[in-house]
Amino acid sequence: MRLNLKTVLTMAAWSVISSARVMAVEMAGFEMSAGRIVVVKGDVRTPLTHEATLSDGTKVEPNGTIDFPTGQRTRLENGQMIMSDGHIMRAGKAAAMQP
* DSSP at 55: T
Q: Does residue 32 sit within a domain?
A: yes
Domain that holds residue 85: 27-95
Report the pLDDT value the prediction gives residue 41, as an integer from 0 to 100: 86
Does 5 reside within a domain? Answer: no
Rounded to 5°, the CA angle 95-97-99 comes to 150
| Predicted TM-score of the model (pTM) | 0.63
> Is residue 7 over pLDDT 50?
yes
pLDDT digits (tens, 9 = 90+) for 49-83: 999 999 889 999 999 999 998 899 999 999 999 88
Question: Is 14 part of any domain?
Answer: no
Residue 19 lies in a domain: no
Q: For residue 10, give the 3-state DSSP assignment.
A: helix
| Burial (CB count within 10 angstroms: exposed 0-12, middle 13-18, buried 19+), residue 64 | buried
- Would 56 be classed as within a structural domain? yes
Q: How many domains does the chain have?
A: 1
Residue 86 lies in a domain: yes
Alpha helices in 27-94 (DSSP H): none
Residue 90 falls inside a structural domain: yes
